[in-house]
Amino acid sequence: MYIKFLGMTAIILLLSNCANMNESDCLTADWHLIGFEDGSFGKQESHISQHRKECAEHGVTPDLTAYRKGHFAGSKRFCTANNGFSRGRQGKDYSRSCPEQFEAAFLAGFRDGQTLYGLKKVLNQRAGDLEGTYKDIDWLEHAITEKSELMIADGLKRDQRIMVRDEIAQHQQQQVDLYDALPELKQEFESALHTYELAKAEFSYY
């Protein structure tokens, strides 16, 4: 039974790598298996129209009944709460391919996954804001050091020294503003992290 399952999985993976069906594919097609593959990958039952178009060029008509039975079986594998959660968490879409019998469970997981995905995006944004602020502070520190050395360098005219001095003062004020912003940025990051971790714990049963 296990070997048979592995064999079917291998065929499905092979089929999934075929962008189009050629004449040989159409003439030897197992339409139940093709339907199963499409259902397993979350494709709508109407995807058979693509196969029909490709095989029509070779005078072959798909077995709609076999395809539908296979698609239903494949959809049963795809349309689970766990798979819905996984897809939602990865930010993937849903093409409304699940039969009515399975859609409620899939959508429940999918929406929970989307919730976690959205919270992770917020967390990443807060982390990026905080990291970017630290980098800006470091860059300003480096610029201030360079300009301070330039201030005492030989050959600089008075008006040039004044301009460099003003640039240093501007950078220093920018640093002060960034340091003032840090507490709020840290709080926003910690809040986003806390919210995300709570949601992860809430959805840990998936």
C-alpha 35: how far from its chain's center?
27
Could you report the per-residue pLDDT of 2-37, keeping only the tens digit for each?
Answer: 344 344 444 444 444 445 889 899 999 999 999 999
Could you report the per-residue pLDDT of 46-90, keeping only the tens digit for each?
Answer: 999 999 999 999 999 999 999 999 999 999 999 999 999 999 999
The phi, psi pair for 154, rounded to 5°, reads: -70, 155
Asked if residue 110 has pLDDT above 50, the reply is yes
Could you report the per-residue pLDDT of 193-204, keeping only the tens digit for each?
Answer: 999 999 999 999
Q: Is the model more confident about 154 or about 98?
A: 98
Long-range interactions of 67-71: CB distance < 8 A, separation 24+:
67/31, 67/32, 67/34, 67/35, 68/35, 69/32, 69/35, 70/31, 70/32, 70/33, 70/34, 70/35, 70/36, 70/37, 70/38, 70/39, 71/35, 71/36, 71/38, 71/39, 71/45
Q: Where are the domains of the chain?
A: 2-111, 116-202
Could you report the per-residue pLDDT of 125-139, keeping only the tens digit for each?
Answer: 999 999 999 999 999
Measured in residues, the chain has a length of 206
| DSSP label at residue 45 | G
Helices (H) and strands (E) in the chain, counts: 8, 0
Confidence of residue 183 (pLDDT cuts 50, 70, 90): very high
Could you report the per-residue pLDDT of 146-161, keeping only the tens digit for each?
Answer: 999 998 888 888 899 9
Which pLDDT score is estimated for 19?
Answer: 52
How far, in Å, CA of 173 to CA of 164, rounded?
14
